[in-house]
Structure 1
Amino acid sequence: MAVVVVAVVAASFILLSCAGWWLYANHDRPELIDSPEVAEVAESACTTMQAAVAARAAPSNAAIDVRVRSIRDQNAAVVAMVARVRGLGSKRLDDDRPTAAWLSDWEALIEVREQYARDLAAGGKRRFAVPTDDGVPITDRMNHVGLACQVPPMLLDLW
């Protein structure tokens, strides 16, 4: 009888350990975009955006209207990337927890860049600041979601 109890306990332990490992291995890590479908589309869209941002860069000595147009053209490339990822649908994006926040961070960056472009065009402030969350630039969070998609420096290094 004792042998049967030990065998049942051992088998239960092994079964629960395997089930726990399976659940852990397949859970959604909240800090990473780890859905293959989402990651593939996001990385592809990001590569396209990065190339467009680089192609639309204005030299630092360009006239103000050229710089403003460059900022807006680069913003349009980011908006297109965000739209492409959002095209996967809210159900799929909601299933990979950080995706919605990651896209919102891109949109927040574009809003601040657009405000900078408006101010620049009106002869106003010439200082650009990356939005922060609890004192940390949102770009830190944007660059650490498990994707091969970094925020291009030229989106941040405004004159």
Structure 2
Amino acid sequence: MSTISVTRIAANFKPTVNYPRLALVHDGRRALLYFTGRRQRGAEEERAVAVFEGCLASRFGYPNDEALPGHPLYRYGLGDYDFFEVSSSPWMEEVRAQNRVSFPKFDMPARKHFIVTAHDESFECLADSVAVHPASSFPVEHLAPRISAVE
């Protein structure tokens, strides 16, 4: 395996310390992460949504900003209040190895490993891509029919 590295990625918004907290909607192919952020330093805070397409798996919650130095990827460049991409992701390799147990001849296509760090929680996922928009582009009320269809 190649050397692991974690790099900040341009995302149009950076998470801020203020509330409301992160909120996640994940249907198995797409993950929507709602957060409070700023487009640039000194700008007004606003709600934003990060859209992760082709989301294979996600982790949400711990660590918060104070515990982030204990994250295994912290020593590779993971930091506070931003969006990151992990190159040579050990998590992606773990998923591919699990898949080979049942499908030894199928080499699962790799996804990108993204991490979003915020105040009270972090979000990680294996996805094809991420784009960040003002939350008005993905209003929560339009998600209600999708969520209630799951019940």
Q: TM-score, normalised by structure 2?
A: 0.25
| More strand as a share of residues | 2
Q: TM-score, normalised by structure 1?
A: 0.24
| More helix as a share of residues | 1
